[in-house]
Chain A
Amino acid sequence: MFEHLLSVLARRDHVSEGERKLIEALPRRIRSFSNGEELVREGTRPNESCHLLSGFAARAQYLPDGKRQLSALHVPGDFVDIHAFLLKLMDHSVVAIGRCEAAFVPHASLLALVEAVPHIGRLFWLSTVIDAAIQRTWITSLGRRSPARHIAYLICELYARLDVIGLVRDNSFEFPATQTDIADMVGLSLVHVNRTIQELRTSGVVVWRNSLITVPDIDRLHDFAEFDPTYLNLIQEPR
């Protein structure tokens, strides 16, 4: 059930057999969501943490005029709102990008687990810290990267995060985001996103057909995007 979570944790630290069993034993309620459905709503006080089992979800904030900014993307194995465990009150919504499946774990169970095993508490803490590192990189992209490099950077990041959990096959991965979703992630107009993606396709760095993204040469895409994966912290260290 929690194999993607355990893969990600193991990529960054040693997880003991005992810790593994405790995580696998967490109680949970499974729910499926269709594209655009809210997993967690802004303004609410969840008493469960939402963990993504399959598909993608994005953190969203809305303006009164209906404009939306997606401030983070989550992949299987991510808790999308573990910070809500501490914040108590949600300042944003979490919305499904394509169909997804999530496990809702009671805060009480998470609290018991982190009190019993401080190392697991630190690993959950680490995940929120890495979420913040990813957001810093998104801010740099939103503020200073050219649209083509920004979108290329996003693809590089997704490729790396999905590769860790074994969801990249033949240099390809499924990404069911619409062009509107992408525009809301990169803070650009729909037409310019559409045009930029077409230019990326034409250049051959990316093949993007329906929801399947193929990167024929990942090093070439990294060079083009000026991608530096340091912020993803994919290093094994005692935490």
Chain B
Amino acid sequence: MPRYFFDVFDGRKLIRDEIGIELASLEDVRIAAIEALPDIARDELPDGDQRLFWVEARDGQNRAVFKASLDFKAEWSADPREGRPRRKAPPINSAEG
């Protein structure tokens, strides 16, 4: 089975995969990269208000094969110092928010 290398950017630092994982198909590569993102985010958060997480798969010849990313943002709904009213939370079924 071909070996793929999954480099991970956890929002602060890049960790190059020196060992790799053997996977049978490109679909497995895609799933492996995407599945990793919630785990990486869960491991790092809460920490900060904005972070970009990504996972990039390379093949044995160092060519980029697939990249998946997760964009995290967090913000207060009102600035307590300015005394602006909090924006009312939208109803559960609304797409907004």
Contacts and interface: CB of A to CB of B under 8 A. Distances in A.
Chain A partners chain B: yes
Interface in B21-39: 21, 32-33, 35-36, 38-39
Interface string B29-58: 000110110111001000000000001000
A188 interface: yes
Given A191-B8, A191-B32, A192-B36, A198 B17 contact: yes
B39 A189 contact: yes
B19 interface: yes
B55 A191 contact: yes
Interface in A118-148: 146-147
Given A191-B6, A194-B17, A198-B19, 5 more contacts: A147-B43, A191-B36, A194-B6, A194-B21, A198-B18
Interface of B: 6, 8, 15, 17-19, 21, 32-33, 35-36, 38-40, 43, 55
27 contacts: A146-B43, A147-B39, A147-B43, A189-B32, A189-B36, A190-B21, A190-B32, A190-B36, A191-B6, A191-B8, A191-B21, A191-B32, A191-B39, A192-B36, A192-B39, A192-B40, A194-B6, A194-B17, A194-B19, A194-B21, A195-B8, A195-B15, A195-B17, A195-B36, A198-B17, A198-B18, A198-B19
